Amino acid sequence: MKTKIAENIKFYRKQLGLTQGQLAEILRGKKSLISNYENGYSTPDIYTLCILANFFDITLDELVEYEKDDK
């Protein structure tokens, strides 16, 4: 399973015209936190995913968006 969390966080952040630093402030974290999420170095926990989905006014499914691996 491949998710598009990293791409979606970046997309929706930019849609709102926010910098990584501004989004980090909303999450009470550091700019590097958002950078790590957007570059796929780390993945937000479920609580943070819910906060982001709510903030972006999208569903959790839209934020996580995954593709099923073909076997």
pTM of the predicted model as reported, rounded to 2 decimal places: 0.88
* Mean predicted confidence (pLDDT) in 5-24: 97
pLDDT tens across 15-67, in order? 999 999 999 999 999 999 999 999 999 999 999 999 999 999 999 999 998 76
pLDDT number for residue 66: 76
CATH number for the domain whose boundaries are 2-67 = 1.10.260.40
**Higher-pLDDT residue of 69, 37:** 37
- pLDDT at residue 2 is higher than 60: yes
* Mean predicted confidence (pLDDT) in 10-14: 97
Residues across the chain: 71
Cβ proximity of 40 and 26 under 8 Å: no
Looking up tokens 């926990």 gives 45
For the chain, helix (H) and strand (E) counts, in that order, are: 5, 2
Distance between CA atoms of residues 48 and 3, nearest Å: 16
